[in-house]
């Protein structure tokens, strides 16, 4: 009977952690007080949390030893999830597509990308980006961007590729819909990925 009662208490405590709006959790401290907050980052001992009241938000450092066992375990699990979901290595994201006036050097659509280093050390290799059409197997452009100086951790660089084919809102089923990239260091591929072209579009031609 005692074991069953303890199990029910544990289940109730855990259920209380999720009985709050999306993006926040309800923690319980050792005195039984509730702390409603969003977990941002942390380690085995402390966590940075964000508490919101009305339209104002403030960040605090929370000592995990002040929490109940169930709340402490939940925070540690949440911190592990946050860490696992962080980008790793060199990543590429699509920023915007701009229509520009045609020139002998390229097409009329310019695709902008952010190349960012989430790795543990400065990046001194190159990144190859390919524009992929909605039609399987069709490529609309490719370029290689070599770092002229090391790209330090958490820093990025903006680069672009010109193509004659536009995004979905311009060329529909034959549009540039996605992109892929390869990360190279000393001639060896050390990373890769793919993504969708940004829906942000701007016409600079004035036509």
The tens place of each residue's pLDDT in the chain, 207 residues long, gives 444 333 333 434 443 443 344 468 899 999 999 999 999 999 999 999 999 887 888 999 999 999 999 999 999 999 999 888 888 899 999 999 999 987 766 569 999 999 999 998 999 999 999 999 999 999 999 999 999 999 999 999 999 999 999 999 999 999 999 999 999 999 999 999 999 999 999 999 876
The CA distance from 206 to 161, in Å, is 21
Residue 190 buriedness (CB in 10 A; 0-12 / 13-18 / 19+): middle
Asked if 112 and 170 count as a contact pair (C-beta separation under 8 A), the reply is no
The CA distance from 139 to 11, in Å, is 53
Domains and CATH numbers, the chain: 2-85 (2.30.30), 90-203 (2.60.40.10)
Global confidence as pTM: 0.66
Residue 29 buriedness (CB in 10 A; 0-12 / 13-18 / 19+): middle
């Amino acid at each position: 009977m005692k074991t069953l009662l303890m199990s029910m208490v544990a289940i109730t405590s855990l259920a209380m952690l999720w009985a709050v709006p999306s993006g926040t959790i309800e923690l319980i401290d050792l005195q039984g007080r509730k702390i409603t907050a969003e977990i941002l980052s942390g380690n085995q001992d402390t966590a940075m949390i964000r508490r919101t009241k009305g339209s104002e938000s403030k960040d605090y450092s929370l000592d995990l030893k002040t929490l109940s066992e169930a709340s402490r375990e939940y925070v540690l699990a949440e911190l592990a999830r946050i860490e696992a979901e962080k980008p790793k290595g060199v990543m590429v994201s699509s920023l915007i597509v701009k229509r520009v006036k045609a020139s002998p050097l390229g097409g009329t659509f310019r695709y902008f990308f952010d190349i960012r280093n989430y790795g543990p050390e400065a990046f001194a290799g190159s990144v190859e980006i390919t524009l992929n059409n909605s039609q399987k197997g069709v490529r609309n452009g490719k370029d290689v961007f070599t770092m002229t100086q090391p790209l330090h951790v958490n820093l990025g660089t903006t680069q672009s590729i010109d193509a004659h084919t536009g995004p979905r809102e311009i060329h529909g089923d034959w549009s540039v819909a996605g992109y892929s990239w390869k990360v190279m260091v000393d001639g060896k591929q050390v990373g890769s990925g793919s993504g969708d072209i940004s829906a942000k579009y701007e016409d600079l031609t004035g036509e």
